[in-house]
Each structure stands twice: as structure tokens, then as C-alpha cells.
Amino acid sequence: MNNSTTVRRLSRMALAVTAVAGIGLASAPSASALTKDGALEAYEFGLYYNSGQLGCVFDLANSDWNFSGDTFWKVSGTCNGIGQSTNDNTASYRNRDNETWWVYTDADGDGAEGTLPAGYAGDASSTFKNEISSAFPYDAH
């Protein structure tokens, strides 16, 4: 095998590897899709204004140390709680992430701690209903 044949084969192999890597990146969720945009998407954790995962949602893909200043909203249209503070104002949640999420009744991961496993959806208990002030995809303690 001469050098030009080897170079062509290596070039084709490099092109194939690059194409496969590009397909993998294209199918992964984009960072811009994982934001506090009012639409609970895969790999996000959502807190709802009303029980039963109803009303506006506050969606998280990353930790939020302090819900003060955060609000419930929706991409389009209206919903119960739109524009209301998320801090101490959550009645239910849904975890669409692959990881357990921790919620706390105070900012900075303080206060009572609760865990919500991957795939879980439910109403907040009396300890957490309208008391959640921070959330993390890891144990903050």
C-alpha cells in the first residue's frame, strides 16, 4: 500500500469519526434548551404553582441557591401563578431529570431537606408546601 492510499483511508476514517461525533452532539439536549423558560423539558426539575403539577412551572436544569427574585411563568399564554414569586410559593413538583433533586425550605440549602428521585411527580408535603426556597441536583449539605 502506498502513502497516498494510506492518507486517503486515514482521511476517510477521520471524516467518519467527525460525522458520528457531530450526530451525537446534535441529538444531545442543548444548553439553551435547559433554562428557566417556563417549559418543563427532559433533564429538568420543575416546581409548580398549584398542586397536581398544575399552574405555571419554574423549571431548573442547575442549582438555584435562592428563589428570591425568581418567578413562575409560561412560554406562551397564561397560567395560574404567572409572575408570582417562586420563593415559598410551590405546591407540587416533577423531576424529569435522571438524577435525584434536593429541595430546601430556606435559601442556600438550609432548613428542612427533601429529596425527589428521578421521574417523581407529586404534591409537596405540609413541610414543603409553599416553603421551598432553594433546589439542587445534589445534596447541598
CB contact at 8 A, 74 and 34: no
The single residue listed with the C-alpha cell 442547575 is 62
At 75 the pLDDT is 77
pLDDT tens digit sequence for 16-30? 444 444 434 444 444
At 19 the pLDDT is 42
The residues spanned by each domain of the chain are: 3-29, 34-136
At 3 the pLDDT is 57
CA-CA distance, 90 to 124, in Å (whole number)? 8
- Per-residue CA distances from 15 to 2, 21, 25, 113 (Å): 20, 10, 15, 50
**34-136, which class in CATH?**
mainly beta
- Region of residue 29 (phi > 0: left; psi between -120 and 50: alpha; otherwise: beta): beta
Name which of 62, 115, 125, 120 is nearest 90 in CA terms.
125
> Per-residue confidence of the chain (141 residues) as pLDDT tens digits?
555 555 445 445 544 444 444 434 444 444 445 568 889 999 999 999 999 999 999 999 999 999 999 999 887 788 999 999 999 999 999 999 999 999 999 999 999 999 999 999 999 999 999 999 999 999 998
At 27 the pLDDT is 43
At 76 the pLDDT is 76
Name which of 129, 128, 103, 99 is nearest 115 in CA terms.
103
Name the DSSP letter for residue 34. S
At 18 the pLDDT is 43
